[in-house]
Amino acid sequence: MKHIQQTPSAQAFLDWYQPIHAPFVRYCSSKSLNSLSTEDLVQEALLATLSAFDAIKDKEKLLSYMIGIVNNIIKNHLRKKKFQGQWNEERMATIAAKVTDPEIALDIQYLYQCIQKLSPKAQEAILLFEISGFSLKEVSKIQQTSVAAVKTRLHRARKELKRLVAQDNRKRSLSERMAIYASLLF
């Protein structure tokens, strides 16, 4: 393997980052479904964190900082988009490309739609713990709260998700119908 020459802070950053690499990429992947590529999101967030690595003395706060950067990038990107619909062909195509079974891809697409209806904190907790695979302690650090509070948040979020998943065959709102028509037209 090629030996990579790095500055001490870059090496320290990589040492800190390596254990959270897989869950972090999964989190970015779940956040970037209908906006930008996972690779672009991971790269942008990593380089922004790297540039602030030396300035942040308390490394315990670094993970929270990095997740905050990801959320802000997504927020800014979605703001720039002219139209946001819950029905999204692009998102479905992204999921289908990752999951080979079309039935599971459809389940996941529907599950993501339900996750989007949760409160922002509950949504983040579900994405971090259930999908990305961060530990409860890490989620509590990211959300700057106690482990017990995260457990409660997750319990309520799962309960709400079960309710949302069970609630089907309902009449779609005008905005949802408009989103479907627009996705078919353009």
d(CA 150, CA 158): 12
- Token couple for 22: 């897989």
Residue 70, exposed/middle/buried by CB under 10 A (0-12, 13-18, 19+)? buried
Are 128 and 134 in contact by the 8 Å Cβ rule? The answer is yes
Amino acid at 55: A
CA gyration radius for the chain?
A: 18
Q: CB of 3: closest distance to other proteins in angstroms?
A: 11
Q: CB of 183: closest distance to other proteins in angstroms?
A: 19
Q: CB of 10: closest distance to other proteins in angstroms?
A: 5
Q: CB of 133: closest distance to other proteins in angstroms?
A: 5
- Which residue ranges make up the site for other proteins (CB under 8 A)? 1, 4-6, 10, 13-14, 17-18, 21-22, 25-26, 29-30, 38-39, 42-43, 46-47, 50-51, 98-99, 104, 106-108, 110-111, 130-133, 158, 161-162, 165, 168-169
Closest to other proteins by CB, 17 vs 65, is 17
Which DSSP string corresponds to 116-166?
Answer: TTS-HHHHHHHIIIIII---HHHHHHHTTS-HHHHHHHHHHHHHHHHHHHH
Q: CB of 145: closest distance to other proteins in angstroms?
A: 21
